[in-house]
Amino acid sequence: MEFIPNTEPERQYWFMDRLRSMIAEEAQRAGRDLTYCIRTFGCQMNAKDSEKLAGVLENIGYKEADSENADFVIYNTCTVRENANTRVYGRIGYLGTLKAKNPFMKIALCGCMMQEAHEVEKVKKSYRFVDIVFGTHNIFKLAELIYEKMNSENKQLIDIWEGTSEIVEDLPSSRKFDFKAGINITYGCDNFCTYCIVPYVRGRERSRKPEDIVKEAKELAAKGVIEVMLLGQNVNSYGKGLEEHCSFAELLKKVCEVEGIKRVRFMTPHPKDFSDEVIEVMKNEPKICAHVHLPVQSGSSAILKRMNRHYAKEQYLTLVEKIKRELPGVALTTDIIVGFPGETEEDFLDTVDVVRKCGFDSAFTFIYSKRTGTPAASYPDEVPEDVVKDRFERLLAVCREESEKAAERLTGKTAEVLVEGLDEGKSGMLTGRLSNNLLVHFEGCENLIGKILKVKLDECKGFYYLGSLLSE
Ligand code: 5AD
Ligand code: SF4
């Protein structure tokens, strides 16, 4: 028996080495290259995880396909709201029909939904054709799982971990963009907002070492990445449990020092932990983008208390005032939940008031979704569906008005823009992103993608601008 390393990432590279020849053999039998397709549901964390999964699949010989009609399909699932789950089940059946026609096809399900026992039960019972099921804590193990599955025919392989304290570094990754990338800084969440499933499916908060984060930023810069997004469920509580103290503000400074990185973003901070130190670093560090995504969730202090958010309406407003005063021109965006149990019309009007007072550049509005296992799932006084719908529509209208007002502020001005790609549907047009996260469409050719250029913002179209290129 050959020696299999028991340290990571060496162990996974060992499996990848073996799999490369096994997949090459399969490709020979198929008489073509084998392909993969990863569908990502949910947030930036999942998008980042999917890049890691793609890295492994490419390493062992799969080529990317643009549809699920592929030889290895992974659904990286989300469970933050019920509709995320529904969307997944709506599509797994279709995968089954594809598999019936393709003897080489393998199907894997992973991500947040798979951390819920009742969902795994459902897959076991109703979707036997799924080959591999794994969760959020062991995505680094994909190579090992594929190897195991390929050596044990006709069995559904299920490997779900309750939690982990382990962070595996230096695995391959296949990035979606050449010029921008996400970097995980924390995993998991310790906040336990009462509506939220995340702490249960992503586990306890763990911070990556600052030197590993900086190393990744340097490696990315060396490969041509100019914008990085620091990712975590609660980025500004970064640093808990590290051997050597490093706050989020200090980490931001370290990342800004990396040569070649021109823009730094972060997602998501929690209002309760947004320190003056972070505001100070944002003020002094031109690389940090002029955008703060600061989820408020509700404008009612009573609801915020029941949500376990650790701030009241006035505290949030004071923080926003401070951010706007200290960082003029910063774009402020938010998340809002409508219809949390017990929400009265008065509570709702407090939310509208916060939206008016903050003038959010954009707001993601969600209808409260009951998640099994969270404290709020057993709260009484559910808000009737028609009332929630009515409030949701009213809130949407207010948010839209405010974001249109906010966007107008820059009309006629010139801004630096990172060109992200072709404007879909319009030939000869490019799409770029401003430091404040807004998009602008302007004429230009493809070879400008990945560059930072000056663009005049001619016309505001509500959520985006039409502009003209000033320099190349
Ligand atoms: N119902 C509705 N929205 C939710 N979010 C998180 N959990 C729920 C839930 N149970 C929203 C929050 C969070 C965003 C990522 O998703 O607004 O900030
Ligand atoms: Fe992201 Fe949360 Fe959805 Fe998981 S459950 S994908 S962490 S939003």
In the prediction, which pLDDT does 462 show? 83
Cα of 433 vs centre of ligand 1, distance in Å, is 25
Residue appearing with tokens 């609660």: 234
Residues having CB closer than 6 A to ligand 1 are: 80-81, 195-196, 295, 297, 335, 337, 366, 368-369, 371
Pocket test for ligand 2, best of 45, 233, 372 (most atoms within 8 A of CB): 45
Q: Is the CB of 79 under 6 A from ligand 2?
A: yes
What tokens does 88 get? Answer: 């997944």
**Which listed ligand is nearest to 40 at the C-alpha?**
2
Residue 113 CA, ligand 2 centroid: distance in Å: 9
Which residues, in sequence order, are CB contacts of 99 under 8 Å at separation 6+? 105, 107, 129
For tokens 């509500």, name the residue.
Answer: 462
What pLDDT, on a 0 to 100 scale, did the predictor assign at position 1? Answer: 61
| pLDDT (tens digit per residue) in 261-277 | 999 999 999 999 999 99
State the chain's mean pLDDT as an integer: 95
Q: From the centroid of its chain, how far is CA 330?
A: 21
Ligand 2 atom at minimum distance from 77 CA = 6
Q: Which ligand is nearest to the CA of 307?
A: 1
d(CA 72, CA 57): 8
Residue with CA nearest ligand 1 atom 7: 196
CA pair distance 416, 28, nearest whole angstrom:
49
Identify the band that residue 297 occupies on the pLDDT scale cut at 50, 70 and 90: very high
CA 47 to centroid of ligand 2, rounded, Å: 10
pLDDT of residue 155: 83
Per-residue pLDDT of 218-263, as tens digits, reads 999 999 999 999 999 999 999 998 999 999 999 999 999 999 999 9
112 touches ligand 2 (CB under 6 Å): yes
CA 110, chain centre distance (Å): 15
Across 177-195, average pLDDT: 96
Q: What is the pTM of this model?
A: 0.94
